[in-house]
Amino acid sequence: VVDAIVRGDRDKSLRSRVSALGWSGVGKVLVMVGSTAPQFDDLRSADLRRAVRRLVQDVLVGIQGDRIVLVLGGDGDLFTAAQSLTPRFGEGPVIIGPTVASLDDAPRSASAALAALESISAWPGAPRPVAADELLPERMLIGDPLARGTLIAQAYDPLSASGGALLETLSAYLGTGRSLEGAARDLYVHPNTVRYRLRKVAEITGWDPLDARESFVLQVALAAGRLPAEL
């Protein structure tokens, strides 16, 4: 079942197969991936399952070679539950996919998590664990269409819809090396106006242009939005 979710299968029999494994189907779902701990045997696997079941209503555990794939489901805070499971993984990155509405959408969470795992070497300072959507720029670099769509939907499109001044200001700010004064000169406005507009950018997108990492995310989002839609 876990392999089918990872592959993105949407076989109608998947739900009945999962129900047969005791999956209640209540609440939302996320997928978490990372490496196995050393000497990960059947005993450790059973211990992991018990630990996860104490935290969430539903769980599927897939062991794929040296990789663990956890599918978590339930009404509670799945992200916090996933964070607490990090010590159960081996060395290396641990990725938490986005929370989705139901098991039917679990392949999307799995796809995001696996793309983040593939691209995380491009961000040496990534935290552990890290949300897959914190790696949207890196995922886009490896050609992940879901990452590009997310960047456009969460940043470029809302800024474009805001009337143009925010998009223009963000572009000027990034284009002048993240200089408030430089952007103000280019736009013929006061630096405080630039600062105010950048705060609005942060409110709309959730990414703060004044933060080095988040300004990089926004810069990639602008590039993604400017590319032809058919790419």
The CATH classification of domain 2-130, taken from the options 3.40.50.300, 3.30.70.2730, 3.30.365.10, 3.90.850.10:
3.30.70.2730
CATH says 145-226 is which class? mainly alpha
Answer whether residue 228 shows pLDDT above 90. Answer: no
- C-alpha neighbours within 13 Å on the C-beta side of residue 137: 17
Q: How confident is the model at residue 46 (pLDDT cuts 50, 70, 90)?
A: confident
Q: What's the average model confidence in pLDDT over 13-23? A: 76
The residue with greater pLDDT, 62 or 132, is: 132
pLDDT at 231: 63
pLDDT tens digit sequence for 99-119: 999 888 999 999 999 999 999
Q: How confident is the model at residue 125 (pLDDT cuts 50, 70, 90)?
A: very high
- C-alpha neighbours within 13 Å on the C-beta side of residue 132: 31
- In DSSP notation, 20-85 reads HTT----SEEEEEEEEPPTT--HHHHHHHHHHHHTT-SEEEEEEETTEEEEEEEESS-HHHHHHHT
Read off the pTM: 0.90
Q: How confident is the model at residue 213 (pLDDT cuts 50, 70, 90)?
A: very high
Burial (CB < 10 A; 0-12, 13-18, 19+), residue 58, is buried
The residue with greater pLDDT, 17 or 91, is: 91
Q: How confident is the model at residue 23 (pLDDT cuts 50, 70, 90)?
A: confident
Q: Could you state, in order of their start, the residue ranges of all structural domains in the chain?
A: 2-130, 145-226
Answer whether residue 85 shows pLDDT above 80. Answer: yes
Answer whether residue 50 shows pLDDT above 90. Answer: no
Q: How confident is the model at residue 79 (pLDDT cuts 50, 70, 90)?
A: very high
Q: What's the average model confidence in pLDDT over 125-133? A: 97
pLDDT at 167: 96
pLDDT at 159: 96
Q: What's the average model confidence in pLDDT over 30-39? A: 90
State how far the Cα of 57 lies from the Cα of 134, in Å rounded to an integer: 26
Answer whether residue 199 shows pLDDT above 90. Answer: yes
State how far the Cα of 39 lies from the Cα of 34, in Å rounded to an integer: 15
Q: What's the average model confidence in pLDDT over 129-150? A: 96
Answer whether residue 148 shows pLDDT above 90. Answer: yes
